[in-house]
Structure 1
């Protein structure tokens, strides 16, 4: 049996986006199926009692729309939301640095971002006690509107690669 968990990190890939010609990638909006996916994510987070205390959201239109639609279906609101320009371009190392800046009063943290960084970050953080089947799936990438759940007993500022347990991957139903 695992030790009591003090913190949960939920890493969410944005929902399905449009691919309009000549539109800057940062400005791509959600597609209609993505809007449904995002609302379903919020309902799923609520069912799983993963209401975030704090949210770090990439500044792209599709990640902000994903968060806004998911938030409306949550059974509670986060204490704070950080729409973060750096999270849009961040690689795994920088994303981990951003997570390390989160206050220790946050017990459930949600990061809304992009592939391949969201799956690579989950795989990088997965250490002893992780679900091996989930880890193998995450290593090949995750579909839109999927989220991973990692648990750790260390403060955010001390989170290191292999420093969490990857316990779940939730993917959209359709």
Structure 2
């Protein structure tokens, strides 16, 4: 929705920490002409994402896969040129309980993000303005209990238009912010 409303002919989207690629690949399928970058620090995750890439047909030609931690995976020519950044980063606090099934299937690095669960979110909020074009959008998924603190962090890094979006269960789950124009 954010990309369609941008009114840009060839929008650039980045999915940081893509995991299986579901979000980034969905953007490639749904937003015709979008250039999509999917990144992850995990080579294993990118094997899965590349496998899923083969199932999206012609849209796959507009997807670039890059290995690396957050923005380090991206080429320098994207600085200031990205229209939308999306990420479902690790956001579980080290002290939080996680179901056994989740611990068994998810790598710890994909779950835990420091004492308050905001380490990766903080890093993304701090670095994203340099990569977004003026007016570009950053969308982050997180625990509903982190939204207030993350909103304050976003303001401190110069973001405007701060809003939240509910998940399918009706809980506010995503933070949506815009780089000032």
Q: TM-score, structure 1 length as denominator?
A: 0.38
| Higher Rg | 2
Q: TM-score, structure 2 length as denominator?
A: 0.37
Q: Which has a greater percent of strand?
A: 2
Q: Which structure is higher in RCO with an 8 Å CA cutoff and minimum separation 6?
A: 1
